[in-house]
């Protein structure tokens, strides 16, 4: 596989994922849309496990990992899909762009990692200020935009916590095995959520766009995207990987405006700019590697 092609693939998939989430949730109902995506993703993962003969560990530690990651996927995605009904899709990408900052904060507190340098703390403070500005915006078109923003922020935070918890467990397993085991835990919970939210009723008028979005997310968003991301991490240094988190929120915002006629007020752009500046400061040391010698491929 070509590394540049994988890198571009990650950017394209992550840039389009928020808009696909919104289209699927609006056209098929948020609980059905996320459940269908996860069912499809789990089926593909099981097929890949079988065809590649990849082992799926069932040790106590592995099962604990699947449970923790599966629960974090369930909470994060359910909240994100509901929030996508009420806020611009580009804003979802901006909020999830905060994930490295929140993950770093959890790692410093829980794993005693010395990752929060003064520069990174300044970046974290700047990004949180931008988030505070965004919360104060009367986003047009939906009276529940503030609740939707809060739901996505909580979902992103839960996902970051799950990542740090997984790292704390330090279980040796392939990325495909972790994804499959985690979806095996999360998918029944999504089915239960659909039974409760929609009383097991299929959406009466699912739009073709919503159906295509569900398939796109199940195949590319859930399986291909993460596979490419792990491949990129293995072959590129931290600075080049960090650029993905800086590029995707901007491209997602542009796609939302172009394809979904999303409007963001000027003061909202100010908050987004603060978050972007905070991310830039937070990843500054990694980005400096772009002008220096290449680090280890596993960086």
CA-based nearest residue to 47, from 39, 35, 36: 39
54/263 Cα distance (integer angstroms): 46
**Which residue pairs from 243-247 have beta carbons closer than 8 angstroms and sit at least 24 positions apart in sequence?**
243/287, 243/290, 244/7, 244/10, 244/11, 244/14, 245/97, 245/99, 245/100, 245/279, 245/283, 246/97, 246/276, 246/279, 246/280, 246/283, 247/11, 247/15
Please state the pTM of the whole predicted model. Answer: 0.87
In terms of pLDDT, which residue wins out, 269 or 24?
24
The sign of the CA dihedral 106, 19, 182, 1 is negative
Of the pLDDT bands very low, low, confident and very high (cuts 50, 70, 90), residue 132 is confident
Q: What are 46-100's pLDDT values in tens digits?
A: 999 999 999 999 999 999 999 999 999 999 999 999 999 998 898 899 999 888 8
CA 44 to chain CA centroid, nearest Å: 19
85/34 Cα distance (integer angstroms): 13
For residue 297, pLDDT over 60 is answered with no
In terms of pLDDT, which residue wins out, 116 or 238?
116
Angle at 71 between CA 67 and CA 76, to 5 degrees: 150
Q: What are 273-295's pLDDT values in tens digits?
A: 999 899 888 888 777 766 654 44
Structural domain spans, the chain: 3-291
C-alpha distances (whole Å) from 146 to each of 31, 58, 68 are 20, 41, 28
Of the pLDDT bands very low, low, confident and very high (cuts 50, 70, 90), residue 140 is low
Angle between helices 3-28 and 225-235 (to 10 degrees): 150
For residue 2, pLDDT over 90 is answered with no
């Amino acid at each position: 596989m070509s590394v540049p092609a994988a890198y571009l693939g990650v950017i394209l998939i992550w840039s389009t994922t928020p808009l696909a989430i919104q289209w699927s949730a609006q056209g098929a109902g948020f609980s059905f849309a996320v459940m269908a995506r996860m069912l499809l993703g789990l089926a593909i993962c099981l097929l890949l496990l079988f065809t590649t003969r990849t082992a799926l560990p069932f040790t106590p530690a592995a099962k604990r990992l699947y449970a923790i990651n599966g629960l974090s996927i369930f909470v994060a995605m359910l909240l994100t899909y509901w929030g996508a009904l009420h806020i611009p899709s580009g804003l979802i990408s901006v909020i999830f762009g905060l994930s490295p900052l929140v993950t770093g904060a959890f790692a410093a507190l829980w794993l005693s990692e010395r990752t929060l340098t003064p520069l990174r703390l300044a970046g974290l403070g700047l990004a949180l200020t931008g988030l505070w500005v965004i919360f104060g915006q009367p986003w047009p078109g939906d009276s529940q935009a503030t609740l939707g923003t809060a739901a996505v922020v909580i979902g992103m935070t839960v996902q970051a916590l799950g990542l740090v918890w997984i790292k704390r467990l330090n279980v040796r397993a392939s990325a495909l095995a972790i994804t499959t085991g985690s979806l095996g835990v999360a998918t029944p919970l999504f089915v239960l959520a659909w039974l409760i939210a929609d009383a097991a009723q299929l959406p009466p008028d699912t739009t073709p766009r919503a159906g295509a979005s569900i398939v796109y997310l199940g195949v590319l968003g859930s399986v291909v995207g993460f596979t490419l991301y792990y491949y990129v991490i293995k072959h590129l240094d931290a600075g080049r990987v960090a650029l993905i988190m800086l590029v995707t929120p901007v491209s997602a915002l542009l796609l939302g405006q172009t394809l979904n006629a999303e409007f963001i007020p000027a003061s909202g752009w100010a908050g987004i700019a603060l978050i972007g500046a905070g991310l830039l400061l937070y990843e500054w040391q990694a980005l400096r590697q772009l002008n220096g010698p290449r680090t280890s491929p596993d960086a």
